[in-house]
Amino acid sequence: MDIDTMRENAGRASSLLGAMANEKRLLILCQLFERECSVGELAEALEVRPSTVSQHLALLRKDGFVNPRRDAQTLYYSLAGDEARAVLNTLHSLYCEPQPAEQ
């Protein structure tokens, strides 16, 4: 792989990891890893105001990590692309699944 491609890929990876470095955004992405959610559902799950969730979703949407879908007055969000899902899958296996007992 040439250095220009590496730079481009590193920029995209850095953007994703930066989004996940914020605890609230990581929790939003984790919820969306499980299923599509509305802003209200995310706010309730995270115990924050819907406006707070909307601000985080706007950043995630701008970077292309979530997709919105409107159903009447309600906006639903889902994960976009495979990059975030792959990283979240790794994080889920490391931190959310039962780990074997240490020997």
> Mind listing the pLDDT tens digit for each residue in 41-59?
999 999 999 999 999 999 9
CATH 3.40.1390.20 assigned to 23-95: no
Nearest to 44 by CA among 59, 68, 61, 27: 27
Is residue 6 within a helix (H) or strand (E), and if so which, with residue range? Answer: helix 3-20
Q: Which two tokens stand for residue 4?
A: 């220009």
> Mind listing the pLDDT tens digit for each residue in 11-39?
888 988 998 999 999 999 999 999 999 99
Task: Look up the pTM and report it.
Answer: 0.85
Could you give the C-alpha distances from 97 to 4, 33, 91, in angstroms and in order? 37, 14, 9
> Mind listing the pLDDT tens digit for each residue in 86-103?
999 999 888 887 777 655
Domain residue spans in the chain? Answer: 23-95
Q: Which two tokens stand for residue 84?
A: 């975030």
